[in-house]
Structure 1
Amino acid sequence: MNKIDLNYQFKGTDCVKMQSDKYTAIIAPSVGSAVLRMRDDKNDLEIFKFRKFVPMKTIEEQREIWGLPTLYLPNRFDKGVLKTSDAVYNFPINEEKLDNFIHGWVHKRAHEIECFSDENGKCVLITSYVYDEKDEMFRYFPVEFKISYTFTLSKDGLTQEIYLTSNSDKALPVSICTHTCFNAPLKDGGNEADMRLCVPVGEKCELDRRCLPTEKLLPLTDWDKEYKDGDKVPTGQPLDNDMYTAVMNSYKGKPFNGVIIRDIKSGCTLLNEVSKEFMFWNMWNDSGDKGYFCPEPMTAMINAPNLSLDSKVTGYRELKKGETFKCWQRFYTED
């Protein structure tokens, strides 16, 4: 079965519901094209953070911590400053406690549906947002761009392709992240303590008290190695901005670029595969007591444009007018 419903009501909001094989996904173009729910219906698995009785108003006010929100200019910029090769931009401070600008704004905008289909064994939805002088942030960042997402749901899971295109004569900084909010527990009726998280981490990126990189890359401690070895319990203890360089993982004896989440009691596994453009992982779980956790894939280091490190280390890059940056990720489960 492959079915797409463009008029699905989710908590009173117009959304797109896609169904294919054992998967269901609900996407909200009006809420930054966030994936607000994904389920493995066969195995009763709730992939992303979901709460039945939480109203949409709450989700809209806390967009970074529900489902799968995609962030452009994510995480933190020191004192709101972003330095490109041809300009310096000053964003308003929206993280007052740490004196930073955080998470960008495209996840807070209503996106348009470009096209859709439910043929050839899959459902496809393409959404986009065009950023120009009509956006209230343009006075801080007068650099036109278009960002679009292609969501494909099939027997192979949910794939998200992200395309960032420059429409400006000014250099467009590239830094993309998804604030991926995985549900805990994964299995309906399961236990959070039965979950194990495996993240392919290389070196730790030391952060200062304002959660900005010191530019030091550190060897892994025993705590860090729990991620690498797949032994980390992702809730019940705080994961507070543990940031790492990304390396290749392995799954069933083969290379696998991404995160592996297991429910050791049910035997179910959730996999989040990412493209090579995602060079960092940042771990966070909102103190560990709220039933979700976020292994966030990032294409660039926190505050990357402002660092003295080489771009090969930070992952930072820029686009010229007409150029497009692409990255992708996939979510799927195995029994």
Structure 2
Amino acid sequence: MTIKAYAGTYQGESAIWLQAGSYEAAVLPEIGANLIAFRDVVKAYHFLHEPTLEEMEAFKARPVIHGIPVLFPPNRYEDGKFPWKDKIYELPINEPRTGNHLHGFVHNIPWRVEKFSADETESQVTLALQVREGHSVYTYLPHDFTIRLTYTLDASGLHQRIRVHNEGKDSMPCLLAFHTSINAPFAPNSQASDYSFKMTIGHRWEMNERMLPTGEFQSLSENEEKIKVGGISPFFESLDNHYTVSPQNGRNYMELTDSRAGVKLVYDVGTSYKQWMIWNNGATEGFFCPEPQMNLVNAPNVDLPADQIGLVSLEPGEIWEETGRLYCIG
């Protein structure tokens, strides 16, 4: 089995490539440490929504709907502000339509490659974003901290480990998500109509006209109830919805089944992610985004218990860490 980790390019951008058996993956250090490709080269499966060469400029301008972007802090914040302890954080309003801040500051800036390596069983890359005074992120989140992201590829698939370390002298908010973009279809001889999915969703949050949660739940539709058990298309209707997580059998996951190819892609994320976001680009076939989020949209501005809405505080020296995995069955 060929196992390699090496520096190369992806559509003209600097990339670290990993190989392990039939699998390969690529991460873009200069564009938010985005894991832009995960493939089975033997079966010609492309699991993630990748930008074409013609789409690269648009991707670099808005690197959110391809690969696995890191959102920190994720999703929307009312009027670009939120309270934390005795501070008010002020973020740029970058979504004029809603008057909110959207998606944070780390998905479109360079990360540092700490190391990449391979041995007889796996290949691996670790990237880090160290924030200190003078860093662009520090302008809006004035804390000393490091986000460290490791991807490992082996014969069983792709493993992800994310860690946030508060290296400062005061508590900081830890609000994070992945805007994961999954192809449907991912197999070359399949169509979107061959695909159905399952996710460990719980309740749907009610959103107002600014796409901010009211703090109330809405009843799931009959089709949304089917998401919990599987067997429904990821494009059954336009989805731009936020849900609580309801683990099944101790796991928090999305499964995407290709009935034609007889294969199932599993996206297994940790139970530290208390929320799921599902976005399917207006029910446009081709890809959809099952997004694991630590926190509810606008969480610091929502008057609900911190544990319920995933509002995590890191005290000085503390570390938050979670893992995820993408792999195939069949």
Shifted more, 203-212 versus 73-82: the winner is 203-212
Mapped partners of 2:301, 2:46: distance in 1: 38
- Partner residue, 1:63: 63
Residue 246 in structure 1 maps to residue 241 in structure 2: no
Give the match for residue 273 of structure 1.
268
Q: What do the CA deviations read for 1:130-170 (whole angstroms, capped 9, x no partner)?
A: 11222234333322211010111011211110001112223
Report the Cα distance in structure 2 between the residues aligned to 1:59 and 1:95, rounded to whole angstroms: 17
- Are 1:325 and 2:320 counterparts? yes
Structure 1 unmatched ranges of 5 or more: none
52-61 vs 196-205, which moves further: 52-61
Aligned amino acid, residue 171 of structure 2: A
The structural deviation recorded for 1:103 is 0.4
* Percent of aligned pairs sharing the same letter: 27
Structure 2 matches for 1:75-94, cutoff 5 A? 75-94=75-94
How far does the alpha carbon of each residue in 1:81-125 deviate from its partner, in whole angstroms, 9 at most, with x for none?
Answer: 121113111111001101110100111111111122201400111
The residue aligned with 1:160 is 160
In structure 1, what is the Cα distance between the partners aligned to 2:139 and 2:152? 35
Match of 1:181 in 2: 181
C-alpha distance in 2, partners of 1:145/1:260? 33
The residue number in structure 2 matching 1:308 is 303
**Range moving further from structure 2, 226-235 or 73-82:** 226-235
**Equivalence for 1:3:** 3
Asked if residue 140 in structure 1 is aligned to residue 135 in structure 2, the reply is no
TM-score normalised by length of structure 2 = 0.95
Determine if contact 1:2/1:119 at 8 Å carries over to the other structure: no
Counterpart amino acid of residue 291 in structure 1: G
Q: Is the 8 A contact 2:5 2:123 kept in 1?
A: no
Report how far residue 55 of structure 1 moved.
Answer: 4.3
**What is the aligned partner in structure 1 of residue 199 from structure 2?**
199
2:5–2:116 CA contact under 8 A, matched in 1: no
Checking the alignment, whether the CA contact within 8 Å between 1:200 and 1:228 is kept in structure 2 is yes
CA distance in 2, matches of 1:189, 1:132: 48
Aligned CA-pair RMSD: 1.6
How many Å separate the matches in 1 of 2:51 and 2:33? Answer: 19
From the superposition, tell whether residues 256 and 313 of structure 1 become closer, same or farther in structure 2 (CA, over 3 Å).
closer
Aligned counterpart, 1:208: 208
Q: Which residue number in structure 2 is paired with residue 231 of structure 1?
A: 231
Question: Do 2:247 and 2:271's aligned partners in 1 also have CA atoms closer than 8 Å?
Answer: no
Which sections of structure 2, spanning at least 5 residues, go unmatched?
A: none
How many pairs align? 330
In the alignment, structure 1 residue 172 sits paired with structure 2 residue 167: no
Deviation at 1:54, TM superposition (A): 3.0
| SS of residue matched to 1:233 | coil
- SS of 2:89's equivalent in the other structure is strand
CA distance in 2, matches of 1:122, 1:233: 34
User: How does the TM-score come out when normalised to structure 1?
Assistant: 0.94
